[in-house]
Chains A and B, each alone.
Chain A
Amino acid sequence: MRSDLRHRLVRLGPFVGLLLVVGFFAIASGAPERYLSANNLRVVLAQTVIVAIGAIGMTLVIVGGGIDLAVGSTIALTGVLCALAVRDGWAPGLAVLLAVLTGGLVGLVSALAITRLRVVPFIATLGMLGVARGTAKWLASQTTVNVPPTWISELAVTFPPVPWMLFAPGVWITLVLAVLMAFVLRRTVFGRRVFALGSNEAAARACGIAIDRLKLAIYGTAGLFVGLAGVMQMSRLRQGDPTVAAGTELDVIAAVVIGGGSLNGGEGSILGSMVGALVMAFLRNGSQQMGWPTYVQEILIGVIIVVAVAVDRWRHAQGGGE
């Protein structure tokens, strides 16, 4: 009973962090009613969409004991593809589908390198980071791709196109996908097998799980999310930029890790990752409101990542876990 309670507290960790960050800036800004206003919340959430969608896929990858470093450049690649398709007169829906499927394909290729060539995920996706970035620049002829306005441009805006939506459509899409993936991870056979794979790959193999196929499914699915994040990126910029989102993979990984994900696999939750993404977004937003220079934000986020993981380790040690 007591350990059950403690277990719950462990899960609450990221929330406590989020409350601390929000509370700190609400007070420090001297104008809590402005910092906590609906408008500022819209700003923060719209800024979180790209990292949050990426983090849904990354949670799957990290829980399964892998890593994906190609997220940032895949976002650029799929954003450029989406822009090119819209510019060439495709229906916006098809352009979005193209971007999402391309993201999935990139994930599949990484997974093939991991399973067929026996390259560790870090290296396979490091290679893909270069390949995707280069391909994006090639397709975009090393320049930005301007697009005529369509509904895609409304997805990740700060203020929704219709007031009753309250938040940008991208925010709602993120929420629905997060709930869906949380369900998949917790309740489906596929989800439990992902945990099993990350917890002990040799044992998963010995249990008769088709490891290679599972990895293809994990990286492929995660890639679909990265593709959607690329669409959101294009929506925010209203153009396809092949140089955008450099280093976004690190924000995405940080979100998962702040949310309790372990790079050793077997641990992590969608809810935690979403909270992790919000922690970083509120931190950035708060620093801006305070008029702090960006280097302060960078230092702060760096410290937060290490502190979050250290606190997590400490709680595990207290909880008597391994």
Chain B
Amino acid sequence: MTLALRLSAIVHRFGATVALDRASLEVRPGEVHALLGENGAGKSTLLGILGGLLVPESGTMEVGGTPYAPRSPRDARDRGIALIHQELSLFPHLTVAENVLMGTEPSRRGLWDHAEAGRLTQAVLAEFGHPEIDPDATVGRLPIGARQVVEICRAIAARARVVLMDEPTSSLPRGDVERLFATIGRLSAAGVAVVYISHFLEETRAVASAFTVLRDGRTVGGGPLSDVANDQLIGLMVGRTVSELFHRRPGGPSGETALEVADLAAPGLHEASFTLRRGEVLGVFGLMGSGRTEMVRALFGLARPARGRVSVGGRERPLLAGPAARLGDGVGYLSEDRKGEGLALPLSVADNVTVTRLRSCSRHGLIDPALQRRQSAERAEELQVRMRDPGQAVRTLSGGNQQKVAFARLVHQDADILLLDEPTRGIDVGSKAQIYEAVARAAAAGKGVLMVSSYLPELLGVCDRLAVMSRGRLSPARPVAEWTPEKALEAAIGA
């Protein structure tokens, strides 16, 4: 049988970094193929090459048995290859129809055919189970989940023979994930090959039948997905097994109260009350839009609480304090939006690590660059950040290493209370393990850690107690031993 896709000995470099080192990939028509690997393993680079965004240094590609060497996304589209991006790549100012059809727009003599565009878009939206989305709605006004739907509909509309999906579910609510899987099933039944990248192994198993694992730019394994167990896959990806991922600490929390929150309400948050003790990791599980992020932002002064009481270390603190006052209270915050507000991407690792406590490396208001470098290098080493130099711009690091830099800042700040919002979102397994280690170390050092996540296995693996956020209300926290994944999910869905 002719392969839908065949890549061999692909080499690609970014400057001095080798992103792909003779990588290969073979996908059969109608197959859903999982592309697995840590961040920085080269998965996105490989899809970028297939999608015509990057031109490889060497190697050969074939689509449907004939040579393929795209030099632009247009070439890729002409050969029936559609790429759905990791980051949303929509036009917020344009309508749904314009977003779905841009580049393949129906036209008559250069005029945009509005009626035909609406009809085509409606058909695609209906096919994906979202007939309620208006083709004439402006995309910037849609909720984030609907935007991802638009993004996926663009690939469906292109009637591609090969669809490349780079973490398509990262901002999708549960119901839409199932719709996406159904659509993938339909595409695959129609003979379309799907290459699928996700960090969720469970999800990958639900949708894919074959896999290829990349490590450090090389193809290190592949085959039918049913033949391998999860820890074998992770072993291939990182050379570690899954049991080493979580760092369970012996004994429960016994410290004094670090943070007490009573009856907190804010936009998107109805009611949250909890107590966080020193030396404890308290998990908050919730689906997207449940109010979990709103709670953390209100606590850190980034959103305006409507009511409630907040005490730090037993002393009541003003409810309407801003981030500066919260930092002063010894509260540290890790944003779920690493690129948007978590890090200053163009600045160096040293600047990013030390920015919340520059006093530690300055004298009379002047920064001592040597001291700043030394301090940040120590923190970075503690978090095992892979970098050349503390003076390196954070932008040049991989996603996982960026997140470790963001965490290193909390360590440097020496915060007593760590508010972590999705600390491992979109990062590779190895970096996840290192973040878990850092969380465990912080708790062991007597810090109070509040960890918000939508990834249950990590919460159950890392936390001492767990509370569930559902529709703006936080459940009472209970020891993790009393939770099962099913119970937590049930509480989150609010069944």
A interface residues (Cβ-Cβ under 8 A, vs B): 3, 187-193, 195-196, 198-200, 202-210, 266-267, 320-322
- Asked if residues B91 and A204 are in contact (CB atoms below 8 Å), the reply is yes
- Asked if residues B89 and A266 are in contact (CB atoms below 8 Å), the reply is no
- Asked if residues A189 and B89 are in contact (CB atoms below 8 Å), the reply is no
- Asked if residues B89 and A203 are in contact (CB atoms below 8 Å), the reply is yes
Given known contacts A188-B112, A206-B85, A207-B102, A195 and B93 CB-to-CB distance under 8 angstroms: yes
- Asked if residues A208 and B140 are in contact (CB atoms below 8 Å), the reply is no
- Asked if residues A196 and B112 are in contact (CB atoms below 8 Å), the reply is no
CA distance A205 to B52 in the complex (A): 10
A3, A189, A195: the one contacting B141 at CB < 8 Å is A3
Supply 26 A–B pairs (Cβ within 8 Å), ascending by A: A3-B141, A187-B114, A189-B107, A189-B110, A189-B112, A191-B112, A192-B94, A192-B102, A198-B93, A199-B91, A200-B91, A203-B89, A203-B90, A203-B91, A205-B53, A206-B51, A207-B73, A207-B154, A208-B72, A208-B77, A208-B104, A209-B103, A210-B72, A266-B93, A321-B138, A321-B140
CA distance A267 to B73 in the complex (A): 25
- Asked if residues B110 and A188 are in contact (CB atoms below 8 Å), the reply is yes
- Asked if residues B94 and A196 are in contact (CB atoms below 8 Å), the reply is yes
- Asked if residues A187 and B85 are in contact (CB atoms below 8 Å), the reply is no
- CB of B83 closer than 8 Å to a CB of A: yes
- CB of B98 closer than 8 Å to a CB of A: yes
CA distance A95 to B104 in the complex (A): 41
- In the complex, the chain B residue whose C-beta lies closest to that of A316 is B140
- CB of B395 closer than 8 Å to a CB of A: no
B74, B91, B114, B141: the one contacting A210 at CB < 8 Å is B74
- Asked if residues B111 and A205 are in contact (CB atoms below 8 Å), the reply is no
Dominant SS among interface residues on chain A:
helix
- Asked if residues B110 and A196 are in contact (CB atoms below 8 Å), the reply is no
- Asked if residues B93 and A199 are in contact (CB atoms below 8 Å), the reply is yes
Interface size of B as a range: 20 to 34
CA distance A84 to B114 in the complex (A): 47
- CB of B131 closer than 8 Å to a CB of A: no
| Chain A positions within 8 Å of B140 at CB level | 321-322
CA distance A229 to B111 in the complex (A): 28
The 4 closest A-B pairs by CB, nearest first: A207-B103, A203-B89, A199-B91, A266-B93
Q: Annotate B78-107 by CB proximity to A: 1 below 8 A, 0 otherwise.
A: 000001010001111110001000111101
Given known contacts A3-B141, A189-B105, A206 and B92 CB-to-CB distance under 8 angstroms: no
CA distance A202 to B53 in the complex (A): 10
- Asked if residues A196 and B72 are in contact (CB atoms below 8 Å), the reply is no
Task: List which B129-181 residues lie within 8 A (CB) of chain A.
Answer: 138, 140-141, 154
CA distance A69 to B54 in the complex (A): 33
Smallest beta-carbon distance A313→chain B, Å? 14
Smallest beta-carbon distance A267→chain B, Å? 6
Smallest beta-carbon distance A320→chain B, Å? 6
- Asked if residues A193 and B102 are in contact (CB atoms below 8 Å), the reply is yes
- Asked if residues B111 and A188 are in contact (CB atoms below 8 Å), the reply is yes
| Chain B positions within 8 Å of A3 at CB level | 141
- In the complex, the chain A residue whose C-beta lies closest to that of B113 is A189
Given known contacts A189-B111, A208-B72, A208-B103, A321 and B141 CB-to-CB distance under 8 angstroms: yes
CA distance A164 to B107 in the complex (A): 40
